[in-house]
Structure formats: structure tokens, C-alpha cells
Amino acid sequence: MNFSKLLETFPTVQTKCIILRKLELEDAPILLNYYSNEKVYRHLDWNGPESLERSYEVINTWNEGYDKGWIIRFAIANKVTNEIIGTIFLSEFAGKRAEIGYELSEEYWCRGIMSEAVKEVLSKGFNQLGLVRIQAFVADENIASKKLLTKFYFKKEGCLRRYECHGVTGNAKIC
């Protein structure tokens, strides 16, 4: 499946508190800033961009990925300021199946923002893109993400031991 062929243009979605929109190069300094917090990337499969130049490259890669149809990565922007506070994506595996992933600046945790974003992205995935399965890989110690996904009826299907060796420990498990 090619995401970009199913959508006429990159979608913009407004919710109560956020805007889901295309990432812009102007977002690069803020992306770099919130990724400099180890708490943000602790449970991810990468540490985020390590420089402003790399931040620009990452945004270009994600936007090119949309054009080529292998990822749709939204900026999660503050509705009042339009400032990026996180990202959320769907990336294709095969056919009608995709993976969801996300991160959020620590300053915005525990406000229901990621619930708003996940709800909208799941709706886009199932209703507009025609996906039949959306899955997530979650580090076993990432309690908040597991709770969030449970809220949206995700079911644990297994535990991939030593699947992602990232961060401080080499024993990371994705469950």
C-alpha cells in the first residue's frame, strides 16, 4: 500500500487541543530540543536527532517517506501556537497492515494529548487508508504507552525478548 496515493494531499486534522499536520523544516529546532530529553526517547528505537542539521535531515526523510508511500508522520502541534510538541506516525509493513508509533515532549505528558492524536491517526488508518490491522511495538517498561494502547483496544500478542537493545540496558523487551 502506498499511503500518499490514497490521500489527495497530506492531511491536517484539528482536535480540541492539537493540530496534526505535515512536519516543516521550521520544526527542526524544537524537534531537536525535546529529543534532547532522555525521558522522551528512553523507550524508542532511536535517540532522536543529535544536531540541528540532523533534525532537518530527519524531517526531510519523513516527508520524502510520505511522498514515496512508506510512512505518514504527523507533527503534533499545539493548537494555539502551532509549535510542534511531538510526532505520530503510521508506517506500512505489508498490504493492509501498519505500525503506529509516537513521542511527545515531556512538558505535555499526562494531558490527554496523545489520546487525541492516537484516536485521529487510528481513524485515518482504518477509515481513510483501509487498514485492517494497526500494531505497535512497546517497551515492556513503558507503562504509559501500554495503558494508552489498551484504551484503544490494542491487545498484547507476545513479548519479543532482546528485540530492541536500546538505551541504558541491553535487555530491552518489546511486549
Task: Check residue 95 and give its pLDDT.
Answer: 82
> What is the rounded distance in angstroms from the CA atom of residue 60 to the CA atom of residue 22?
11
Residue 162 lies in a domain: no
Residue 81 lies in a domain: yes
Task: Check residue 8 and give its pLDDT.
Answer: 78
Nearest to 60 by CA among 22, 26, 25, 101: 25
Q: What is the pTM of this model?
A: 0.88
> What is the rounded distance in angstroms from the CA atom of residue 93 to the CA atom of residue 104?
23
| Other beta carbons within 10 Å of 132 | 10
Residue 57 lies in a domain: yes
Do residues 41 and 47 touch, judged by C-beta distance below 8 A?
A: yes
Residue 85 lies in a domain: yes
Residue 158 lies in a domain: no
Domain count, the chain: 1
Rounded to a whole number of angstroms, the CA Rg of the chain reads 15
Residue 148 lies in a domain: no
Domain residues for the domain of 12 are 3-137
The CATH number that applies at residue 125 is: 3.40.630.30
List, run by run, the mean pLDDT of 10-residue segments along the chain (175 residues).
74 96 98 88 79 95 93 96 96 86 94 97 94 92 93 90 55 45
Task: Check residue 164 and give its pLDDT.
Answer: 56
DSSP state at residue 97: E
How does strand 84-94 pair with strand 160-161? unpaired
Residue 53 lies in a domain: yes
Residue 39 lies in a domain: yes
